[in-house]
Amino acid sequence: MSTIGVGIIGGSPGGWASISHIPALMALPDFTLRAVSTSRRESAEAAVREFGVEAAFDNHAALLAHPGIDIVVVAVKVPHHRELISAAIEAGKTVYSEWPLALNLADATELTQRADAAGVRTAIGLQGRYHPELRYVRDLIQDGRIGRVIGTSLVASGMVWNGQTTKAHTYWYDETQGATPLSGAALHAIDALNVTLGEFDHLSANLVRGRREVTVTDDGNTIVPVTAPDQISVIGTLQNGAAASVFYRGGASRGDNFRWEINGTDGDIVLTAPWGNIQVTDLTLQAGFGEDATVSKLEVPAEYSAGIPDGLVGPARNVAALYTHLGRDLREGTRTAPDFTYAHTRHQLMNAIVNSSRQTASSSADLAR
């Protein structure tokens, strides 16, 4: 296989793909961005001017028909995933979908089964695991540097789900649109926790709507109801026996916006960040071992940045690492990048969190009677 041709559905300037996928692809020698498609001719032409892409279309069918495309990236709002991913599967393309894979577990199941039946390779945009700091942390834990992991706590902010928004982003607050604090910031972080420490053996959850309405500042300060819970609490026990707790709040805190502690019998690891969304922020790693009285900053060896080209910053860094793994998988027949089958397990986890919260609410109602 020569360079791998990529087409992005949802490649408008200023969109998510423009700050993550496109810089990553331009920095990776094994990939070539061959086409983008957008919903309007004007934005397609703007993509040609800004990115120098070979071809741009105002419909996804034309992109799927492009002969030089091996991977189709679906980087649009979640309600459109089912249609666009299905079309890419039918076209026989490798599909890289942004997370969440679908609006609900039923659609995620259907898309996973379609891809499997068609023999199509897939990838899901859960790139938080590729932080160099997390790669290093996994090795530190495996090497026994903090002894046996006995507990972990992660407290962070969803950042964008605050009391004000713009008209273009009101969908973030709508539980039916697939871009909620739970499906977005919280699940990215929980996935990174699971990849680092292991899956939940059991859990309980509480989902609360702390904000009942949001002000749309560019639409005459219109008030829009909030239907998505913006206070996410998950506690449980991991399969290794460690206690785990995760709390995500909508909006930003005047205190810390991301703090994750991993506590062991012989050491502690602390990961912090200025931004609460682990998949896009930079992490600072601190640790203390043995007789250390406090944690101190721990430098990450250079080899843990493998797959991340020099000069990439922000969201593009971990996306580039995911592409590196996907490219190797396609060349060597391996399966190291998270795929739709894995995404399906994350949807199952999300369902378990929602169902547990409903049970919590029901139990609380019974106690109040």
Instruction: Give the tens place of pLDDT for each residue, 301-333.
Output: 999 998 789 999 889 999 999 999 999 999 999
Which two structure tokens, joined as six digits, stand for 163?
A: 């009391």
Q: Each residue of 3-54: pLDDT tens digit? A: 999 999 999 999 999 999 999 999 999 999 999 999 899 999 998 899 999 8
Identity at 14, one-letter amino acid code:
G
Residue 366: strand, helix, or coil: helix
pLDDT, the chain, mean = 96
Using 50, 70 and 90 to split pLDDT, how confident is the model at 190?
A: very high
- Judge whether residue 241 has pLDDT over 60: yes
Q: Each residue of 40-63: pLDDT tens digit? A: 999 999 988 999 998 999 999 999
Using 50, 70 and 90 to split pLDDT, how confident is the model at 2?
A: confident
Those residues with Cβ within 8 angstroms of residue 353's Cβ, 6 or more apart along the chain or in another chain? 182, 203, 205, 207, 232, 234
- The pLDDT value recorded for residue 320 is 97
pLDDT, average across residues 142-148: 98
- The pLDDT value recorded for residue 170 is 97
- The pLDDT value recorded for residue 210 is 97
A 10 A CB-CB count for 328 gives 15
Q: Each residue of 57-68: pLDDT tens digit? A: 999 999 999 999
Using 50, 70 and 90 to split pLDDT, how confident is the model at 364?
A: low
Q: Each residue of 73-99: pLDDT tens digit? A: 999 999 999 999 999 999 999 999 999
Q: Are 198 and 255 in contact (CB under 8 A)?
A: no
- Judge whether residue 148 has pLDDT over 90: yes
pLDDT, average across residues 262-279: 98
Using 50, 70 and 90 to split pLDDT, how confident is the model at 361?
A: confident
Q: Which contiguous run of DSSP H or E holds residue 86?
A: helix 81-90
A 10 A CB-CB count for 45 gives 13
Pairing mode, strands 222-225 and 213-216: antiparallel
- Judge whether residue 203 has pLDDT over 90: yes
- Judge whether residue 209 has pLDDT over 90: yes
- Judge whether residue 365 has pLDDT over 90: no
Question: Residue 271: phi, psi to the nearest 5?
Answer: -115, 130
Give me the residue label for tokens 């609006």: 103
- The pLDDT value recorded for residue 62 is 96
Those residues with Cβ within 8 angstroms of residue 357's Cβ, 6 or more apart along the chain or in another chain? 205, 206, 207, 229
Q: Each residue of 164-175: pLDDT tens digit? A: 999 999 999 999
- Judge whether residue 369 has pLDDT over 90: no
- The pLDDT value recorded for residue 362 is 67
- The pLDDT value recorded for residue 306 is 82
Rounded-to-integer distance, Cα 262 and Cα 233, Å: 18
Residue 358: strand, helix, or coil: helix
- The pLDDT value recorded for residue 1 is 54
